[in-house]
Structure 1
Amino acid sequence: MSDVPAPPAPPALPALPVTFRPTRTRAVLLTAGVAIFVVITAIAFLLPVLSPGERASFVFTGALLFAVLALLSRPKVVADESGVTVVNIATSRRLEWAEIVQVNLRPGDPWVFLNLSDGTSLPALGIQPGIAKQQAIADARALRALADTRTAREN
């Protein structure tokens, strides 16, 4: 009997449709956004020396900061039977399974990169190891397994 460890079992394929998103990061961003908005709005109404226009500018600034943090919490990757939708901060792109050649999450990468059949690479910010590294690794493996299975099925 040898001491060579068995290779890890391939991840179980998740049921489709499945959405991958950095939920902890999203929770932190949205919580911080709400807290910032509430604090700035409270300050606007608690300071007696502010005019109505100044109060409005405080509230607008709080809302703007919340909107920026909400935008940063937008990324996700949605996989379904026909392909993958990658939603990043300001863009969204729909890919067929056959377009995805490889799913990469190397050590030190800030998020998953999808190598595409046209020779380009698409960042998928919906899977990022920032706060929840093990979850991101599991999500990347699941997406890789889905891509491998769906591409093999189409060929």
Structure 2
Amino acid sequence: MSLLLETLTTGDRITFICTGLLGLGVLALLSRPKVVAAEDGVTVTNLTTTRRLDWAQIVRVNLRSGDAWVHLDLSDGTSLPAMGIQPGIARDRAIADARALRALVEAHGTGHSAT
């Protein structure tokens, strides 16, 4: 082990450290996505952004076959990906979470939802 450390140049060591930090940064980004429902709305955290929505802003909750994650159709005509609900990780859990979010949208908002 010490022979390997002796043969590494300063540049090699910096490269190893930077590669490790880059890997940790990617893992930190991948661990961020979540969807948090509260009495007054939903907070959607994706890789680099967080958006707070009132219930009335959500028109539809979509999780179609083949989708990588849930999409929220919004009252302004746009769609917001909700990467915190991903069927690729745990399909049954994602379907249950999408249905629960749909029920909350229907109970609190004015939207219509489809899973």
Q: TM-score range by the shorter chain?
A: 0.7 to 0.9
- Structure 1 equivalent of residue 73 of structure 2: 115
- CA-CA distance at 1:52 after TM superposition: 3.4
- CA-CA distance at 1:86 after TM superposition: 0.6
- Structure 2 equivalent of residue 80 of structure 1: 38
State, as a whole percentage, how many aligned pairs show the same letter. Answer: 65
The superposition leaves residues 69-114 of structure 1 with CA deviations (integer Å, 9 ceiling, x where unpaired) of 2202211011101100110111111100000011110111110010
- CA-CA distance at 1:53 after TM superposition: 3.9
- Structure 2 equivalent of residue 144 of structure 1: 102
Question: Structure 2 regions of 5+ residues with no counterpart?
Answer: 111-115
Answering whether residue 45 of structure 2 is matched by residue 90 of structure 1, we say no
Answering whether residue 15 of structure 2 is matched by residue 57 of structure 1, we say yes
Q: Distance in 2 between matches of 1:46 and 1:134?
A: 48
The count of residues paired between Structure 1 and Structure 2 equals: 109
- CA-CA distance at 1:46 after TM superposition: 4.4
Secondary structure in 1 matching 2:6:
coil
Aligned-CA RMSD value: 1.8
Question: Structure 1 regions of 5+ residues with no counterpart?
Answer: 1-42
TM-score (norm. length: structure 1): 0.65
Q: Distance in 2 between matches of 1:56 and 1:118?
A: 48
Q: Distance in 2 between matches of 1:46 and 1:131?
A: 39
Q: Distance in 1 between matches of 2:50 and 2:4?
A: 41
Q: Distance in 1 between matches of 2:94 and 2:6?
A: 48
TM-score (norm. length: structure 2): 0.87
